[in-house]
Amino acid sequence: MKLPRLHRVRLAVLGIVLGLAGCSGEATPQRYFPLAPGYHWQYRIERTTMDGTQRIRQAVWTVAVPATLDVSGMRETLGGQRLLYVDDGDGIERLQTQRTGGPRNAPQRVTVLPATLVVGTQWHQPAVTTVLENTGPPWETLFRISVPVELEYRIESLAASVDTPAGHFDDCLLVTGRGQAQADVGNYIGRTMVEIEVREWYAEDVGLVRMERDEKTGAAALSAGRLVMELDTWSDD
């Protein structure tokens, strides 16, 4: 059965933002990306494409890891996604994403946050464009491009401030990611440069509080898209 478009958008958004992440004391990955059971986050998501802006909400929570799984933490969503993480000294890595009740994907480690949280630390993470779409001329029907881009992430600050619907957060971990790739996307566009730029703010003992993602191409008909995710409410009961 084909999922409704809004549901597919939520899943695509979560593929981005969950693959991802006032502070004091020793900086460790789980202080900024909690894996302990009992955390619950609700986010406001604003998705802007060439067709306009769509606003949605999403909930994410941490759950106890079943004894049958050799992982450090697990998160689930209202959309039925289950995300598995390991924290074995190299930082927090996402192992795999699977639908609740569905088959597991092949294990693949993707760094969410590195073990060394100091300004200048860099790592790489694969990404795929998700907001480059248009239903206007010359297509008249939905045309979306999904281009893989390798992003280079860097820790920019451990003292950033940011405002969200959930409140003001100081001394946050600010992470940026940038990458570009040449791609032949066809459909009147042909070969073009695709760029992705990401900014993420993580607050200690809270987690991801804001994310901004900009996608661009060199084609005027499909020039840009933007995704903003802000923390609305959270709890650690």
Q: Which pLDDT band holds residue 164 (cuts at 50, 70, 90)?
A: very high
Report the C-alpha gap between 229 and 118 in whole angstroms: 24
Query: b vs e for 106-126, b when ≥16 Cβ sit within 10 Å of the residue's Cβ?
Result: eeeebbbbbeebeeeeebebe
Choice between 65 and 95, residue whose per-residue pLDDT is larger: 65
Task: Give the tens place of pLDDT for each residue, 140-162.
Answer: 667 788 899 999 999 999 999 99
**Mean model confidence pLDDT for the chain:** 86
Count CB atoms within 10 A of the CB of residue 25. Answer: 7
User: For the chain, which residues make up each domain, given as ranges?
Assistant: 5-235
pTM exceeds 0.85: no
C-beta separation of 37 from 63 below 8 A:
yes
Where residue 186 falls (left for φ over 0; alpha for ψ -120 to 50; beta otherwise) is left
Judged on CB neighbours under 10 Å (0-12, 13-18, 19+), 44 is middle
